[in-house]
Amino acid sequence: MVSTQHIDEPINAVPLLEARGITKIFGTLKANDNVDFAIQKSEIHALLGENGAGKSTLVKILFGSLQQNEGVVLWNGETVSVRSPSEARDLGIGMVFQHFSLFEALTVAENIALSFDANTPLDNIATRTRDLSQQYGLPLDPDAVVGDLSVGERQRVEIIRCLMQDPQLIILDEPTSVLTPQEADTLFETLFRLRDEGRSILYISHRLEEVQRLCSAATIMRHGKVVDACDPRQETAGSLASKMVGAEIDEVVHRESAATDKVVLQLNGLNMPSTHPFAVALKDINLTVNAGEVVGIAGIAGNGQGELFGAISGEDVSTNANAVVIDGHAVGLKNISERRKIGGAFVPEERLGHGAVPALALSDNMYLARHASDSGDFQSGGSLKVIAKNAIKNATKRVVEAMDVRKSAENPPAAALSGGNLQKFVVGRELDRKPVFLLVNQPTWGVDAGAAAHIRQALIDLAASGSAVLMISQDLDEIFEVADRIAVMADGRLSQPEPTARMSRERVGLLMSGAAENGEAA
């Protein structure tokens, strides 16, 4: 464990960065409403708020990705006009976005090189990438193609690329959302070292225990306004969450297991070869998930979780029909639409681009995901189909209301939603079907405390209603809070699930890292 001791610096007369009266308007929505904010030198400062509170808009203005309608930004006491991310980097501001800005067809080193002068040799960038990634415990292969990397590995690329810019202010948006606890510990050590070197960090996270551990100051936003400022070390996670939402957060209620003897998902010796040099082969995986239970799968990013999701969902088909059985149907050779028709529902880890098409409206995304399974409701006719727009509109509205999806227009494109609100929509779209079986990968990645509690409770309630739920998550708190049984993925193998009550974090951690002899690996 890293030390949580903070070296409190004297408050500087002149903040490193200050925002005064920042207002940003989108149509009729004031995303930022007269926001005042300041971060001192040598400070780790949290920016907190629900999804849609205005945090992302504010930091995009500070980083030059958006321009404010009113207000000014000061850097070292001087008014500046930050008109682009390149101007922000020139000032000394670096940022790691929650949604990655990487070109999948390029290598890690080539992506990082795009942030440097064209005359910088690629070999030099590759060497620095390898050295920094090893130093910070975020291993990367500079020659790996980004399209072949897991979400966790792509996050590492973003973090290393930012650190290579040598910034004075680093803005981190949900930096640990795809890191293991061990990787997060290493990142925290790095952040403390950067702070002690005189740099400042603006830290955006929904993991409030991290905020208490790292930050000596916090600014809290709600509905586009700053509503509070505090020292998070003097608060509890519950009090911080209440300040964010303006009300008490409902606790997740884990009902007594409703598991029955009915097997809904069965994997029988599932083997899948690696499809590219950086993929993980699945090795003889056996698993059953019964009606009425939630089975959680833990693991370090890049150990086959994505490949397992593809094999179960039908994005990648097996050579053996019986390798995947859903509700008694051998579907190993069937595609995702066929698996949806028999009651399967699937939520991938990457919501923007995989779970939803960014440029399409929410209703269009609803139709794309459910046109096969809901064909009777969403379309009619013979060979020439007629789309039932009202039914799709009503289903979209139902999901938006049930999941409290915050949006700035009646039917906006998916890309217009904040990350957490899009996650609520994608999860709600599948829950709304009342599926026989739900497979969800990273269900609360990057969502606020209130939304995370809502999603977790919805998964528990779905299982209590008789469905089977298989949840892949890198959040151990989530795994222990939601799952009835826990299994661990390591190097393409899956351990036998064990009752959550008999598992410990230490045992899960050892299985995740491969340090334990996984004698019961299936």
How is 157-183 classified by DSSP, letter by letter? Answer: HHHHHHHTT--SEEEEESTTTT--HHH
Q: Per-residue confidence at 5, pLDDT binned at 50, 70, 90? A: very low
Percentage of the residues of the chain whose pLDDT score is greater than 90? 61
pLDDT of 380 > 80? The answer is: no
d(Cα 376, Cα 392) in Å, to the nearest integer? 11
Average pLDDT for the chain: 88
| Residue 251: Cβ within 10 Å count | 10
Coil, helix or strand at residue 221: strand
Percentage of the residues of the chain whose pLDDT score is greater than 70? 91
Per-residue model confidence (pLDDT) at position 440: 98
Per-residue model confidence (pLDDT) at position 65: 92
pTM of the model: 0.68
d(Cα 451, Cα 453) in Å, to the nearest integer? 5
Per-residue model confidence (pLDDT) at position 448: 74
Phi-psi region of 381 (alpha: psi -120 to 50; beta: other; left: phi over 0): left
pLDDT of 316 > 90? The answer is: yes
CA angle 149, 326, 288 (to 5 degrees): 80
Taking Cα atoms as reference points, which of 462, 410, 427 lies closest to residue 292? 462
pLDDT of 283 > 80? The answer is: yes
- Residue of 3 and 408 predicted with greater confidence: 408
CA angle 264, 269, 273 (to 5 degrees): 115
Taking Cα atoms as reference points, which of 518, 511, 522 lies closest to residue 180? 511
pLDDT in tens, 208-241: 889 999 999 999 999 899 999 999 999 998 889 8
Stretch among 50-59, 375-384, 458-467 having the lowest mean pLDDT? 375-384
pLDDT of 9 > 60? The answer is: no
- Residue of 29 and 247 predicted with greater confidence: 29
Per-residue model confidence (pLDDT) at position 516: 53
Tokens of 290: 């019964």
pLDDT, average across residues 363-367: 94
Intra-chain end-to-end CA distance of the chain, in Å: 31
Per-residue model confidence (pLDDT) at position 228: 95
Burial class of residue 123 in the structure, from the number of CB atoms within 10 Å of its CB (0-12 exposed, 13-18 middle, 19+ buried): exposed
pLDDT, average across residues 16-29: 94
Q: Report in angstroms the alpha-carbon separations of 462 from 63, 298, 457.
A: 41, 20, 8
pLDDT of 406 > 50? The answer is: yes
pLDDT of 437 > 90? The answer is: yes
- Residue of 8 and 153 predicted with greater confidence: 153
pLDDT, average across residues 280-298: 96
User: Are the C-beta atoms of residues 483 and 476 closer than 8 Å to each other?
Assistant: no
pLDDT, average across residues 453-463: 93
* Exposure on the CB side of residue 289, measured as CA atoms within 13 A: 31
Domains and CATH numbers, the chain: 17-245 (3.40.50.300), 250-343+435-522 (3.40.50.300), 353-434 (no CATH)
Per-residue model confidence (pLDDT) at position 194: 87
Q: Per-residue confidence at 2, pLDDT binned at 50, 70, 90? A: very low
pLDDT in tens, 165-194: 889 999 998 887 666 666 678 789 889 988
Q: Which amino acid is at 188?
A: F
pLDDT, average across residues 344-355: 93
Tokens of 204: 């955006």
Per-residue model confidence (pLDDT) at position 521: 41
Per-residue model confidence (pLDDT) at position 453: 86
Residue 244, C-beta contacts closer than 8 angstroms, at least 6 positions apart? 48, 49, 50, 53, 220, 222, 448, 449, 450
Per-residue model confidence (pLDDT) at position 136: 74
Q: Report in angstroms the alpha-carbon separations of 210 from 42, 400, 513.
A: 18, 30, 22
Quote the DSSP letter at residue 415. Answer: G
| Residue 96: Cβ within 10 Å count | 21
pLDDT in tens, 490-504: 989 999 999 999 998
Query: What is the H or E stretch that residue 21 is in?
Result: strand 17-26
Q: Report in angstroms the alpha-carbon separations of 17 from 64, 96, 413, 465.
A: 14, 17, 33, 51
Residues in the chain: 522
Q: Report in angstroms the alpha-carbon separations of 4 from 108, 192, 378, 483.
A: 32, 9, 54, 30
Q: Per-residue confidence at 519, pLDDT binned at 50, 70, 90? A: very low
pLDDT of 397 > 50? The answer is: yes
Q: Which of 134-138, 349-353, 516-520 has the highest mean pLDDT?
A: 349-353
pLDDT of 4 > 70? The answer is: no
Stretch among 5-19, 467-481, 486-500 having the lowest mean pLDDT? 5-19
pLDDT in tens, 27-61: 888 999 999 999 999 999 999 998 778 998 999 99
